[in-house]
């Protein structure tokens, strides 16, 4: 596997959780110690980063972060071991995260052009938490390493020797010999372990759950009927907690939940999944991918000073009436003669086309996006984007 860490001995999958503080700059020098050859098959026909002198390119993107473009992990900002070769957008060795956005959850991962998929499958991903004590402490949510835990969840398949398995034959072998649009693994991995177990106390816990899968959706629920109290989504809090029996999480999404194990009437609880794959009309879950992890609940009751607040954090709403412009974005996935996807264009343009959308900082815009997938399913998403670094509001989804 590939892994992030400060040394070969300490590297882990997922990588170390980076905890940042609002207003305190974080500087990271990401160094490439990957081997000369990849451990997984990759397809040279999908415009990957290919260095002239060998080695595996990588670059790190902080997913959900708001920071300078040169620290964003552009797909063409890749570099090889020792920075011997770099991509066309590479500028500097040390990235700078300013940490001046709302507190919440992000994750960092490889972003090299054409190699993101295989580099993530190999293990290059980790959690990033931004804290803001003056904003969050009054909420009195569960805190501390034991009661506030990131859970990075993904699926993988393995060979008998424990190495990662990935099919090396593409869906369109005459066009893309090895590339496949989706990867689904047999085993569900949580924080680097397959189907783990965790002993918990009869009190409230906070779980920051990241879906780091390539294509698998998860619809989480507890086998004993426990509720999820959702307090955050991706890199922001909700305005108030929402109680639900299940949570649907798409790839790259993060949900921030509280679970009160004092409400359990059983000694154990299975965090389970019942989302078809591909979602929403694919195969039903199996015995292997329907189970995520097991919680063993301590029988003793105890004092719990954390609470479920009535209100969380309310952000300034995005108003269509104050938007300066409406943009229409069409994403279309093209298919081959055998009805398998080959490539995706935005407004008829490929990734490396000149930039056409240039919103200005300090303005609000409405993006009307139409997405046409090879399954002939059309999704319309109407977004109002506030370009002041405070995120975006979804106005409607149909």
Domains of the chain by start residue, with CATH: 15-131 (2.60.40.420), 139-301 (2.60.40.420), 320-397 (no CATH)
Q: What is the DSSP string of 238-302?
A: EEEEEEESEEEE-TT-EEEEEEEGGG-SSSEEEEEE---BSTTTSBPP-TTTTEEEEEEEEEEE-
- Neighbouring C-beta atoms of residue 199, cutoff 10 Å: 9
Instruction: Report the pLDDT value the prediction gives residue 58, as an integer from 0 to 100.
Output: 97
- Which portions of the chain are predicted below pLDDT 50? 375-390, 396-398
Instruction: Report the pLDDT value the prediction gives residue 389, as an integer from 0 to 100.
Output: 44
pLDDT, one tens digit per residue, over 223-254 is 999 999 999 999 999 999 999 999 999 999 99
Cβ contacts of 370 within 8 Å, gap of 6 or more = 328, 329, 330, 331, 378, 379, 380
Instruction: Report the pLDDT value the prediction gives residue 290, as an integer from 0 to 100.
Output: 98
pLDDT mean across residues, the chain: 92
CB 115 within 8 A of CB 49: yes
Instruction: Report the pLDDT value the prediction gives residue 398, as an integer from 0 to 100.
Output: 39
State pTM to two decimals.
0.93
Instruction: Report the pLDDT value the prediction gives residue 41, as an integer from 0 to 100.
Output: 92
What are the CA-CA distances from residue 393 to residues 32, 233, 236, 253 (Å)? 37, 12, 11, 15
């Amino acid at each position: 596997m590939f892994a992030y860490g400060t040394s070969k001995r300490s590297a882990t999958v997922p990588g170390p959780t980076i905890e940042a503080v609002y207003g305190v700059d974080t500087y990271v020098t990401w160094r490439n110690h990957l081997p000369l050859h990849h451990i997984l098959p990759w397809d040279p026909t999908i415009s990957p980063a290919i260095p002239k002198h060998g080695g595996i390119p990588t670059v790190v993107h902080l997913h959900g972060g708001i920071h300078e473009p040169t620290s964003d992990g552009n797909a063409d900002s890749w570099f090889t071991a020792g920075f011997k070769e770099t991509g066309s957008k590479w500028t500097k060795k040390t990235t700078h995260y300013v940490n001046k956005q709302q507190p919440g959850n992000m994750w960092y991962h490889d972003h090299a052009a054409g190699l993101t998929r295989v580099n993530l499958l190999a293990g290059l991903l980790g959690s990033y938490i931004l804290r803001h004590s003056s904003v969050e402490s009054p909420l009195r949510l569960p805190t501390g390493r034991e009661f506030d835990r990131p859970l990075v969840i993904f699926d993988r398949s393995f060979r008998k020797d424990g190495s990662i398995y990935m099919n090396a034959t593409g869906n369109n072998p005459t066009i893309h010999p090895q590339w496949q649009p989706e990867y689904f693994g047999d085993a569900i991995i949580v924080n680097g372990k397959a189907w783990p177990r965790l002993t918990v106390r009869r009190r409230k816990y906070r779980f920051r759950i990241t879906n780091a899968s390539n294509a698998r959706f998860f619809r989480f629920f507890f086998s004993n009927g426990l509720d999820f109290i959702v307090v955050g989504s991706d890199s922001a809090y909700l305005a108030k907690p929402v109680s639900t029996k299940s949570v649907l999480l798409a790839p790259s999404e993060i949900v921030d939940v509280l679970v009160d194990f004092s409400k359990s009437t059983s000694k154990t609880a299975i965090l389970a999944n019942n989302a078809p794959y591909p979602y929403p009309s694919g195969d039903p879950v199996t015995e292997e991918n329907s189970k995520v992890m097991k919680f063993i609940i301590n029988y003793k009751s105890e004092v719990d000073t954390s609470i479920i607040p009535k209100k969380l954090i309310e952000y300034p709403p995005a108003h269509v009436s104050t938007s300066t412009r409406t943009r229409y974005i069409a994403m279309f996935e093209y298919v081959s003669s055998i009805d398998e996807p080959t490539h995706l264009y935005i407004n008829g343009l490929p990734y490396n086309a000149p930039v056409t959308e240039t919103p200005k900082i300090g303005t609000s815009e409405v993006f009307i996006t139409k997405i046409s997938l090879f399954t002939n399913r059309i999704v319309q998403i109407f977004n109002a984007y506030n370009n002041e670094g405070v995120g975006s509001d979804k106005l409607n989804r149909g």
